Amino acid sequence: MSYHKNLTIGLFGFGVVGEGLYSILKQTPSLKARVKKICIKHPDKKRNAPSELFTTDKNELLDDPEINVIVEVINETEAAFDIVTTALRNGKDVVSSSKKMLAENMPALLALQRSTKLALLYEAAACASIPIIRNLEEYYDNDLVQSVKAIANGTTNFILTKMFEDKLDFKQALLLAQQAGFAETDPTLDIEGYDALNKWTILLNHSYGIVERPENIVFTGIQNINQNDAAVAREKHYEIKLVAQAKKLKNGGVAAFVLPQFVNQQDQLAFVKNEYNGVVIESGFSDKQFFYGKGAGSFPTGSAVLSDISALRYDYHYEYKKLYHHQENQLTHDFFLKVYLSYDNGVYIPKEKFEWIEEWHADLKRNYLIGVLAFSELKSDQWWKENNISMILAPEPIIEDVEIRKLKKKSLELAGITL
């Protein structure tokens, strides 16, 4: 018995991802998915597909009753939202790779999915070729996920690798990432952490059923990381990675943030280099699993879109089990972080905000300290992103509120201070 639907696709966008997808679809005729029309913005560009496929009129796709799937891989957030919502309202299943649009509009999109009962799939929007959303939805479809940590942005990981292993400077490394097509059109979205944050917002929903606006999650990128930080990392046998993470704490809440972190060389994430992404999931009884794959680029992203298209043949939907069917999870701010801070000028470091400081270093080039801060100190204002301060988390950064007193006492005793 075969219950596969025939798919007639309207494709929006023919850039890095769209063209990759088109070429992949041509090489997989077994899928029986046909691209009927491609909507583009600039009709004069030369394209690697027959010219009769292209149009600049979105309604030729959205109003065509024969088209039953809209695939949207464009760059503009508002236009993507308009396309996706119109397509769902017009009775079409949708595949999207617009992570920013998805992250910023999740409540409205969830409501529309529920009312239309149509599919909106977006595996390509988080960690590109790694099938992480489908795994979180299907394999980890229970309450047992304890922690998830990920390298979710290929460009920043590529830059860090090139800076620290090949000694390229930041600008050269970024240029290479741009030439390879990994970087966003506006690369500050990568460098300052926005892209990883958007992906993390999406993955928090599938990991824990938490739907949160991106601006409510603490994050930064790699913009302030410098060669002196790299020297400290080397001395301590660490690597620096931009890590998105979430962890269920003993107080019942979920700690979540996207921040640079020192990782031990034995950590699975240390293995993730260049434009690759990696995700480590720790769950109840299975201990740790590590997912690894290309997180950016034409074919890796196209392959995730292809997998979603393929899933539509048998009417696959995300069920959002953790959101709709499990005990509610919420973000918590009641925990502490062990951080490394390097800085040019100590006047910008609010020492009184620290629970304790266990290392101070000063030399002619740069100063740094290692100490423990309440997470709420990072939420309330942005001092740690400003004045050329570089903040990098320690390898196991989270200290739960139930542990803080004991650890503080121990740390002060080591420093010769008794409470």
Q: Residue 278's closest CA among 256, 245, 304, 255?
A: 245
Which one, 292 or 384, has the nearer CB to ligand HSE? 292
How many residues are there in the chain?
A: 419
For ligand HSE, the binding residue among 296, 305, 393, 399 (CB under 6 A) is 296
Binding residue count for ligand HSE, defined by CB under 6 A: 11
Q: Which stretch binds ligand HSE (CB under 6 A): 177-185, 218-226, 266-274, 378-386?
A: 177-185
- Orientation of helix 154-165 relative to helix 227-235, angle to 10°: 70
Q: Determine the Cα–Cα distance for residues 176 and 159; give it in Å rounded to an integer.
A: 9
171 assigned to active site? no
Helix (H) / strand (E) element for 408: namely helix 404-414
Q: Which stretch binds ligand HSE (CB under 6 A): 179-187, 205-213, 229-237, 367-375?
A: 179-187
Q: Residue 208's closest CA among 132, 150, 144?
A: 144
283 lies in the site for ligand HSE, by CB under 6 A: no
137 lies in the site for ligand HSE, by CB under 6 A: no
- Strands (E) in 165-213, as ranges, are none
Q: Residue 207's closest CA among 106, 125, 137, 279?
A: 137
Q: Determine the Cα–Cα distance for residues 275 and 266; give it in Å rounded to an integer.
A: 20
CB of 244 to ligand HSE, least distance (A): 11
274 lies in the site for ligand HSE, by CB under 6 A: no
Q: What angle do CA 21, 162, 277 make, to 5 degrees?
A: 45
Which one, 240 or 370, has the nearer CB to ligand HSE? 240
Which one, 118 or 196, has the nearer CB to ligand HSE? 196
CB of 153 to ligand HSE, least distance (A): 4
For ligand HSE, the binding residue among 20, 131, 260, 295 (CB under 6 A) is 295
For ligand HSE, the binding residue among 62, 128, 243, 378 (CB under 6 A) is 128
Q: Determine the Cα–Cα distance for residues 63 and 379; give it in Å rounded to an integer.
A: 45
Which one, 295 or 397, has the nearer CB to ligand HSE? 295
Extract the tokens encoding 6: 């025939």
154 lies in the site for ligand HSE, by CB under 6 A: yes
CB of 142 to ligand HSE, least distance (A): 28
129 lies in the site for ligand HSE, by CB under 6 A: no
3-state secondary structure of 190: helix
198 lies in the site for ligand HSE, by CB under 6 A: no
CB of 12 to ligand HSE, least distance (A): 17
Alpha helices (H) in 236-342, listed in sequence order: 298-312, 321-324
CB of 194 to ligand HSE, least distance (A): 10
For ligand HSE, the binding residue among 19, 72, 192, 195 (CB under 6 A) is 195
Extract the tokens encoding 193: 């952490």
Extract the tokens encoding 146: 């304890």
Which one, 81 or 182, has the nearer CB to ligand HSE? 182
Q: Are 257 and 219 in contact (CB under 8 A)?
A: yes
183 lies in the site for ligand HSE, by CB under 6 A: yes
Which one, 195 or 239, has the nearer CB to ligand HSE? 195
Extract the tokens encoding 383: 């001092």
Q: Residue 254's closest CA among 192, 320, 203, 196?
A: 203
Catalytic entry in 199, 248, 322, 385: 199
CA dihedral for 23, 159, 154, 83, sign (positive or negative): negative
153 lies in the site for ligand HSE, by CB under 6 A: yes
155 lies in the site for ligand HSE, by CB under 6 A: yes
In the complex, the residues that contact ligand HSE under the rule CB under 6 A are 128, 153-155, 182-184, 190, 195, 295-296
Looking at the annotation, which residues are catalytic?
199
